[in-house]
Structure 1
Amino acid sequence: MTGTNKLGLTDRQAVFATVSFYMVTALVMVSVNKWALNTLEVPWLLLWCQMAIAVLLLKGTDSLGLMKMPRLQKDISKALIPLIAINVLGLGVNTLCLVYVETSFYQIARGLVLPFTVIFAYSLLGQPSSRLVLFSCFIVFCGFYTGVTSEINVSQLGVFFGVVSSITTSLHAIVIKKSLAAVNNSSIDLVYYNNALSWMVMTPIIFLSGESTLVMNTYAAEGFGAFKSFLFAAFVTGIFGFLVNLAGFMQISKTSPTTHMVSGAVRGVLQTLLGYWAFNDTITAGRLIGIVLILTGGAFYTYAKDKEMTANAKPTYIPMTQKDLDEEGDRR
């Protein structure tokens, strides 16, 4: 029988609502980020604003008694240094990639997440992959190569940031698994530490990158009016950045990693269409083929992993005859 939750939703309705919530928030996040960067090209300041808003919202949930936030402790903060470093670097290159490439090309530029995930799973965790998984990675690589080489005016710097983003995204999942032990396996505590410490690290980067000087020069030349659109976009992306974190955890807890990957693939398709509709991106034949191959490789990977899990599942032994029952008694 299908159960219901506190909101009166069935299990199937709850899964649909959670997946939809994740895809909508992620799509809005990318779109508003692109709009903000088109308004004022200060990616590190945009990330700093997003982190600050996320921390304030998390503290707000603590004040309202909705979720309990931890106090920052020195020993835990030291243990989370690898996570914070990967997170800050990853967020930075993600945003810089979005600065230099169109929204519809963003899926291709960051298309090597799956191959790098498989490589790091083997090299760092000692987890080998089947031939089917390796074949899915080959399909993804072909999609990336086709998409990149077919573009005439694509930014090489944007592609570089996309590749680095793929590496950091792959490492991020591995580092998260190892970091959970430092916060007693509390996902909420890890989210708070991750946002709070990343916000602190990003503060000096704003000055080192020269964005503080750019902001002051823009203010001196054009006044506060030049920042209205940017500040609004930063506020909106800050809220949706918080919601994306929440939605990601909700989706994984309500569904499965396989569903999470499938919804990510669907999000990639919608993101491409959104770039074409909202930002007048050009979708060339090569770009379209690249996206299709990357999504096909992701779908094939999902099939391969599901087949692996099925093959590794131990069948339940059920005695069917009197001889089986006698043998079962002898084993006991």
Structure 2
Amino acid sequence: MPTASSLGLTERQAVILTVGFYMVTALIMVSCNKWALNTIELPWMLLWCQMLIAVLLLKVTDYTGMLKMPEIKTDVAKALIPLISINVLGLGVNTLCLVYVDTSFYQIARGLVLPFTVIFAYVLLGQPSSSLVLAACFTVFCGFYTGVTSEINVSSLGIIFGVVSSITTSLHAIVIKKSLGAVNNSSIDLVFYNNVLSLIVTTPIVFLSGEIGLVSELFDTEGFQAFHSFLAAALVTGIFGFLVNLAGFMQISKTSPTTHMVSGAVRGVLQTLLGYFAFNDIITGGRLMGIVLIISGGALYTYAKDKEMQANAKPTYIPMTQQDVDSDHEERNEVGKA
């Protein structure tokens, strides 16, 4: 993969471009998914096509030498069963949530990611949280509660899928940390295994959902036009799904977790504006207040974690002048005489 120096970019420029690439692709991905589901409501079939296209594009990067993909090994695949299970369930409920709620309400429906992450980190990993982190979680919960209770026509099923999506997203982050050891800590290998195995697991779900029959009926009743619309939706969302995976990997490798969370908060604001202007979503006062509280809670969490990182950092003394060096030698000589 090209480096910042090989492209003639400074490290700062590389970080800005990486974060920008992630935010743009993530926004386009949500928009494309919503457009595709508004056009043809086949969530599992659409998800399967996205995974297939992602696998094909990963193989293209392997063939062209841009990235090296691993060979699938049975023992590694068995070790990744928890990750694949959480991933497939998470992608499924994410897509189904987007079927039932507006683009601008999507962030509220999935707003409990942070509280669940903190809870699972304590229950599963034994990691306690500071009072400031707990305050951030409470702020996010208030935002979720405000946004949900202020809506009259919002789908209860969409909210349920959003809550389950928050749970799977929280567990996904924890499971990824434990799964990296199975692939020698290679993020690219994990991305490839994740997409290939998720594609295999999703295949029977597509048949069981009955969406294959719906595709046939759609083709019979509306002809090639509907089939072309479905293929276009699958292709566009598949390509941008692949780019989101790549952009997320690039951002995490180029920036800190704090930057990753800040960009996610900014993306939430832009996503709300996108829903308003592109899909004519109605932004009620309660919905706006819920989004503000969720983003504020995320910002408070980012601030709290940043303070923790600074507190845990061990400062190292580095002599800067010859006087500092001489002083250091004198101190050591005094200790030696004592």
- For Structure 1 versus Structure 2, the TM-score category normalised by the shorter chain is over 0.9
Deviation at residue 71 of structure 1 after TM alignment: 1.1
Quote the offset at 1:322 in angstroms. 8.0
Report the Cα distance in structure 1 between the residues aligned to 2:96 and 2:306, rounded to whole angstroms. 35
TM-score, normalising length: structure 2 = 0.94
What corresponds to 2:246 in structure 1?
Answer: 246
- Residue-pair matches, total: 330
C-alpha offsets along residues 254-281 of structure 1, whole Å, 9 cap, x if unaligned? 1111000000000000000000011000
CA offset digits 1:101-120 (Å, max 9, x no partner): 00000010000000000000
Indicate yes or no: 2:331 matched with 1:325.
yes
Could you tell me which residue of structure 1 aligns to residue 94 of structure 2?
94
Shift of 1:123: 0.4
**Aligned-residue offset at 1:330:** 5.4
Task: Report the Cα distance in structure 1 between the residues aligned to 2:250 and 2:334, rounded to whole angstroms.
Answer: 43
What is the match of residue 165 of structure 2? 165
Deviation at 1:326, TM superposition (A): 4.8
Off by >6 Å, runs of 4+ in structure 1: 318-324
CA offset at residue 230 of structure 1? 2.0
The aligned runs of 1:129-144 (5 Å cut-off) are 129-144=129-144
Match for residue 118 of structure 2? 118
Deviations 1:204-261 (A, max 9, x none): 1011111112111222222221122221111011111111111001111111110000
For the residues of structure 2 that align with 1:40 and 1:161, how far apart are their CA atoms?
19
CA drift at 1:64: 1.0
For 1:306, what is the secondary structure of its paired residue? helix
Aligned residue runs from structure 1 range 216-295, under 5 A: 216-295=216-295
Match runs of 1:1-332 below 5 Å: 5-316=5-316, 325-326=331-332, 329=335
Q: Whole-Å Cα distance in 1 between the matches of residues 26 and 315 of structure 2?
A: 39
Shift of 1:171: 0.5
Question: What is the one-letter code of the residue matched to 1:56?
Answer: L
Unaligned residue ranges in structure 1 (runs of 5+)? none
Q: CA deviation at 1:327?
A: 8.9
Which amino acid is 1:211 matched to? E
Q: Match of 1:217, as an amino acid?
A: E
Q: Secondary structure at 1:154's aligned position in 2?
A: coil
Runs (5+) with no aligned partner, structure 2 = none
Kindly report the root-mean-square deviation, in angstroms, between the aligned alpha carbons of the 2 structures: 2.0
Q: Under a length normalisation based on structure 1, what TM-score does the superposition of the two structures give?
A: 0.95
1:331 shift after superposition = 12
Secondary structure (helix, strand or coil) at the match of 2:68 reads coil
